[in-house]
Amino acid sequence: MAFNSALYDDIIDAFTVDTEHLREAAADFRQDMRLGLAGSPDSSLRMLPSYLGLPTGAERGDYLALDFGGTNVRVLLYRLEGNGKYEVLSHVAKPLKVDGVYDFVGAEATGEEMFDFIAALVDEAVSGDHATPYLLGHTFSFPSSQTNINDARLIIWTKEFAAKGVEGEVVNDLLRAALVRQGLSNVTPNSVINDTVAVLLAAAYINGDTKIGAIYATGHNTCYLEPYTGTAQPPMILNMESGGFSKLVPNRFDIALDAASEKKGEQRLEKMVAGRYMGELFAMALAELLGATRRTYGFTSVDLGRMLEDVSEGAEVTAKIVEEMTGAVLLSEDAVRVRDLARAIVVRSVRLIAATFVGTLWQITAGGEVRSQHIAVDGSVYEKMPLVKETMMRAFSELLGDAVRFKVNRKLNAAFIVRVFLHASVFSCGLLCF
C-alpha cells in the first residue's frame, strides 16, 4: 500500500522552515536574549552567568576534568602546556544507563548512586592514586543557578534525566561527598560550568576570536561572551540554556512529543532539534504514514543518519531499516519518501539552531558589523549527522547575505584552561556583514 500523498506533503510541510520563518526565529531569539539580560519574566532564556571571561591560551598545569550531562560520563586527566597546546594523560568514559544492567538516570535512581558511579570513574582516571592532590573541573550540562565559579545548584533535570535527590541541590557538594566515600579526598572539585561554556573556553584556548559555544548532541544549548556594551560590567560568558527557547510555533508532532515527555512545557527548542528527540519525531510521523498512530517505534538520530547516508536510487537501506523497526515492507517510492522525511527533520533542526546563532551574533554586535570569528560546536549530531554543516552554511547565507564567506575547520581536540577538558568541533565563519 502506497503512502497517502496529501498526508505525506502535509507532514513534510510541518517540518519545513522557510527563510521568512528562519529570520523571525533569529529575531525572536535575539529579543529573548535582551529580555533575559533585563531580567524580564517574558524571556524563555535563562541567561545564567558563568563568572568567567575567555582564556589567554598561555595557561599551564595538570588537571582533572569531568564531563557530565549526556549519554556518557567522561573523566580526563590532562596537561595544559601553554600556547594553545595540551596533552591528555588519561581518559575514562562510560554510559550512565545500560539497558538490563544499570540505570542511574531514571526516576528509580538516586543522586547518591549516580555520583558514586561518577566517583568510581574518577578513581579509574587517576589509576587509584589517593595521594596526589588534584583539582577537578566539572562540566555539568543542565540548567543550574550559580553565584560563583565553584558551585552550581541544579534547577531542573532535562534530556529525560529524573534521578531523585539532585534537583535543588549543589552538584559539587554531591560530587565531593561521593569522592570522599570513594577514598578520593585528594581530589578537589573547585569549579563547575555548563558544557557549552566548556566548549567555548576549549575552543578559545586555541582560537582567541571564538565568542559563541554550543552543544548539538543528545541535548542542545548555546553560550556566548556578552560584551555588556555601554555598561560598567566586564564581558562575561553567559549560559543561555537555549534549549528552553519557546518563541517558536510547534507542529502537531512537537506538541505530542512534549505532552509525552518527562518535563512537559519545558525545553521546547531542544525537543525540536536535539538528537534525543529527532528519532521520536520521525517515528510519530512515520506511524501516521503507516496508519499506525497508536504504535511507537524506537527510532533514534543514529537511524536517521543511516538513512541520510543511503544514496541508493530506491533507498534500499532506508527500506531495510524501516522493515527491521516496524515490520512494514515499503515500496521503493515510499522508501525514498521516508528518507526525505528523515532529511526534513534533520534540516529543520539545523536551520533552527543556525537561526539562534545568528540571533546571538546580532546581539554581540548590537547591530554593527559582524567580524570574522569562530563558533565552537561540540556533539555527536554536529560531528556525525549528514547534511549538518552544509545546511548550517546555507541558513547563514539566507540570513546574513550572499557576501558572507564560510569555512569549516578541521576537528579540534581542545583543552579548557580552567580545569575542564572537552572535545570541541570548531567551524569558522568568515562573516563580512549582515
Per-residue model confidence (pLDDT) at position 204:
86
- CATH no. for residue 144? 3.30.420.40
Residues 81, 99: Cα–Cα separation, whole Å: 40
Domain annotation covers residue 253: yes
pLDDT, tens digit, for every residue of 240-257? Answer: 999 999 999 999 999 999
Domain count, the chain: 2
Q: What residue numbers bound the domain in which 326 lies?
A: 1-50+195-434
Between helix 275-289 and helix 252-259 the angle, nearest 10°, is 120
Say yes or no: 285 and 411 in one domain: yes
pLDDT category of residue 430 using cuts at 50, 70 and 90: very low
Say yes or no: 283 and 260 in one domain: yes
Say yes or no: 369 and 309 in one domain: yes
If one counts every other C-beta atom within 10 angstroms of the C-beta of residue 5, the result is 9
- CA 413 to chain centroid: 17
Say yes or no: 122 and 82 in one domain: yes
Contact 216, 353 (CB under 8 A): yes
Q: For residue 288, is pLDDT > 90? A: yes
Q: What is the pTM assigned to this prediction?
A: 0.80
Residues 318, 273: Cα–Cα separation, whole Å: 21
Domain annotation covers residue 373: yes
Final residue in a domain of this structure, among 173, 193, 213: 193
Contact 118, 68 (CB under 8 A): yes
* Reduced DSSP (H G I as helix, E B as strand, rest coil) percent helix, strand, coil of the chain, to 5: 40, 20, 40
**Which residue matches cell numbers 499506525?**
292
- CATH no. for residue 396? 3.40.367.20
pLDDT category of residue 422 using cuts at 50, 70 and 90: very low
Residue 63 in grid coordinates: 588537571
Say yes or no: 9 and 37 in one domain: yes
Distance from the first to the final alpha carbon of the chain: 49
pLDDT, tens digit, for every residue of 93-139? Answer: 999 999 999 999 999 999 999 999 999 999 999 999 999 999 998 88
Final residue in a domain of this structure, among 158, 193, 228: 193
Domain annotation covers residue 325: yes
Per-residue model confidence (pLDDT) at position 408:
46
Per-residue model confidence (pLDDT) at position 400:
87
Contact 102, 155 (CB under 8 A): no
Say yes or no: 147 and 124 in one domain: yes
Alpha-carbon torsion 227, 44, 246, 380, what sign?
positive
Average pLDDT over residues 323-334: 95
Helix (H/G/I), strand (E/B), else coil: 415: strand
Residue 316 in grid coordinates: 534500499
